[in-house]
Amino acid sequence: MKKTYLVVFGKCKGSNFSGHAPDVPGCISAGDTLEEMVAMMREALEFHLETMVEHGEAIPEAVTHDVNFSSVDFEDVEYFVIQKLDVNVPIREQIEKGNAKHQAA
């Protein structure tokens, strides 16, 4: 199953990019370029969601469609890039099958 989450990337002053998905608290990543950041954020989201499923937690709905910034948000950031990312969302049965295969090997 796929879900599309809004992701906020910030280019930090004198440094790299950071990223987070407002609908998935605690899921963050960082990278040197925007292209790297997009790939790493997708990977971070998929891993985070898989871990949530493994722990029996509900997958967050993708409800955020826009982001409002204040001047405080720009203190350490040169600019932001807002993008929607399609990510694979595992279902419990997929994880259980994968775990069973791994244990059998």
What domains does the chain contain, in order, with CATH numbers?
2-104 (3.30.160.250)
Q: pLDDT tens across 82-95, in order?
A: 999 999 998 765 55
Give this prediction's pTM: 0.81
Strands 2-12 and 28-31, sheet pairing = unpaired
Q: pLDDT tens across 5-27, in order?
A: 999 999 999 899 999 999 999 99
Backbone angles phi, psi at 41, to 5 degrees: -70, -40
